Chain A
């Protein structure tokens, strides 16, 4: 029996997972907790959120996320893959920034919109 805290939603249910009974989960307030409890002990995964460089928008960084959870052990590889990426505005929410990142099957997508601003970054105002 293993005790876990479900991280799927902010409620943070205290789960008990029984490895001997096919990873049966108790303490979960909803089915997503059961799924999480089993996965956490067999193949833990996380959604990665970060930023990439972005030219010509309102800010120099554009927030991104993996569109599904990736294996925990690959998080730093995914971060490294984002290192060299540079977008240019306009950027749309959900726009694919990197396909099948590190062979995980997840795409990295933009999570905010940037309109193209004519002002250049080297102008004093920005």
Chain B
């Protein structure tokens, strides 16, 4: 019986395992299906990671490398090339590995850190034929950055999420011509800095409120048709632009990998597509925690690390401190106007030490605004922001003293302030 089994060896799993070790657990296992630790960071070779956590500007592999090194200083056991198949409600973990075969291990606590996968073309249904040359941006990133293959020479990118933007620059640097980045929404889903340094720097046009309406070609992509969309995101006839290209990259969103979570009977939030979590990242199944992209899609790995350290420390406290007292008060966090989701979704004020960090996303671009936290008719807290965007996760810290004043629920909403 392990104290803790961590499923997934990306930045979330690594940080959780390190924090649990620091918290006093001594029998910890990380299970990773890949042949190495680091998760998706291994293919994110650009810089900009770790400014919060390491106060240094690192590339993805450097960030992962630092954590792998920290892990090496602990006694955490790592099982690579091993895929977890099932987690039961009794915290039994079924797995199959290259060297170990099929086995079941039990643990007193579990951290789910499986990350996310990319939405594929099928999931968003683009019309047209099915030639070769259509890739998800993340798959192309792996081909170019790790395997050394170029997916194509003339490229159109659908979706302006960060991975798509990063790949626009990467393909350009490697000699491809990126003809356009096409975004169905009226704003980009990526970070501002990536629009500047990946598109503007290389004069790659960004078509907002546009989408791909046809893919042409028999064996290989030959043309992609792009049309403008109206306010309800329907293509406007007569606005078609035809691009001669051999490659279409899709950067149309990430889906948390929660098959194991669902199977274990853990409650899922329809908005995050991840587990519903408490203030310490515990799921609805006691002793099971979730953190990183499997819980909600993050833009910044630094936030993944912070959240995962919280999960690891909480797992340690849970194992060493025994069962929690029943009948604790719980605040349900509700999404008010302008808010798409919050994490955590539930807060137990008596478990909050001093501050409770709350992550959320807004559903539109807002200038000078106020973030309001209310409970019933009472305003609990108010925060000012000059700029809010759906592509940028926001964080507020709620002091324990304020949480104690709330009753039953908390609502987070956005109010734009007239200038």
Contact = CB atoms under 8 A, between A and B. Distances in A.
Given A10-B48, A49-B45, A51-B148, A112 B193 contact: no
Interface in B133-192: 144-148, 173-174, 191-192
Contacts of B173: 48, 50, 75-76, 79
A8 B57 CA distance: 9
Most interface-central of A8, A10, A47 (chain B CB within 10 A)? A10
Given A10-B300, A58-B36, A113-B65, A49 B59 contact: yes
Contacts of A49: 45-47, 59
B45 A12 contact: no
B61 interface: yes
Interface residues of B, number: 35
A46 interface: yes
Given A10-B51, A14-B387, A59 B196 contact: no
Interface in B43-78: 45-48, 51, 57-62, 64-65
Contacts of A72: 201
B392 A59 contact: no
Interface stretch (A17-25, A60-68, A96-104): A60-68
Interface string B372-408: 0000000000000011000010000000000000000
B271 interface: no
A111 B59 contact: yes
Interface residues of A, number: 30
Contacts of A4: 196
Interface in A27-57: 46-51, 53
A10 B193 contact: yes
B197 interface: yes
Interface in A82-123: 93, 111-113
A48 B46 CA distance: 8
A75 B101 CA distance: 48
A6 B387 CA distance: 14
Contact of A93 (B62, B196, B300): B62
Contacts of B145: 51, 61, 63
B45 A53 contact: no
B126 to A, nearest CB: 30
- In the A-B complex, the 7 residue pairs with the smallest Cβ-Cβ separation, listed nearest first, are A12-B192, A112-B61, A63-B45, A7-B193, A61-B148, A111-B59, A60-B148
Given A12-B392, A51-B144, 15 more contacts: A5-B192, A6-B193, A7-B193, A8-B193, A10-B191, A10-B299, A47-B57, A48-B173, A50-B174, A60-B146, A63-B60, A63-B145, A79-B173, A93-B62, A112-B64
